[in-house]
């Protein structure tokens, strides 16, 4: 009898599995509403991998004309030759390279431009920019050359990044 009960249980589970497998699917499923834990865009240029590129959240819904916007990113060098970030530019304002350290991108290392360290600062923006819009940038490296990227502006509900001075 014990074996028969166990067999009935297994058959019942197998019969119900296909019915419940579709639960939570569709447009309004919780999994369809999840967002990535890491904000920012990604790009590749030769042996460089640009990751987590984003602009700091505005104090309110948007940045006003003339505002300065910190921009952060990480760059991994998977090649055999060291590189360096020489400059960054944007049609929306002047981009300043600042913070601590030299902007070397060493082979086999991850170089981060982040709050409290090295950073890019878009100074004196030419138009209002809302949170979740993007900032077009051109990054120029000594060895890899130049690449056009988009830095999404973080939402104000996310922890604000400190503004470099």
* Tens digits of residue pLDDT in 2-41: 655 555 554 454 454 444 444 444 444 433 333 333 468 8
For the residues 100-119, what does the mean pLDDT come to? 86
Between CA 139 and CA 88 the distance in angstroms is: 5
Looking at residue 2, its pLDDT comes to 61
82/109 Cα distance (integer angstroms): 10
Q: How confident is the model at residue 1 (pLDDT cuts 50, 70, 90)?
A: low
DSSP reduced 3-state for 9: helix
- Measure the CA–CA gap between 118 and 26, rounded to whole angstroms: 43
* Residue 74: predicted pLDDT: 95
Percentage of the chain beyond pLDDT 90 is 58
By mean pLDDT, which of 68-77, 133-142, 152-161 is the weakest? 152-161
Confidence of residue 122 (pLDDT cuts 50, 70, 90): very high
pLDDT at residue number 19: 46
Is the pLDDT assigned to residue 56 strictly greater than 70? yes
């Amino acid at each position: 009898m014990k074996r028969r009960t166990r067999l009935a249980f297994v058959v019942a589970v197998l019969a119900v599995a296909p019915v419940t497998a579709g639960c939570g699917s569709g447009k309004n499923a919780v999994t369809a509403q999840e967002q990535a834990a890491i904000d920012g865009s990604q790009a590749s240029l030769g042996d460089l991998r640009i990751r987590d590129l984003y602009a700091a959240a505005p104090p309110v819904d948007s940045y006003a004309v003339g505002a300065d916007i910190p921009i952060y990113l990480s760059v991994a060098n998977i090649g055999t030759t060291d590189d360096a970030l020489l400059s960054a530019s944007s049609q929306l304002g002047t981009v300043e390279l600042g913070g601590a350290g030299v902007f070397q991108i060493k082979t086999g290392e991850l170089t981060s431009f982040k709050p409290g360290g090295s950073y890019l600062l878009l100074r004196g923006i030419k138009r209002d920019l809302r949170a979740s819009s993007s900032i077009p940038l051109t990054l120029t490296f000594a060895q890899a050359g130049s690449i056009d990227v988009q830095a999404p502006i973080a939402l104000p509900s996310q922890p604000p990044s400190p503004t470099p001075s």
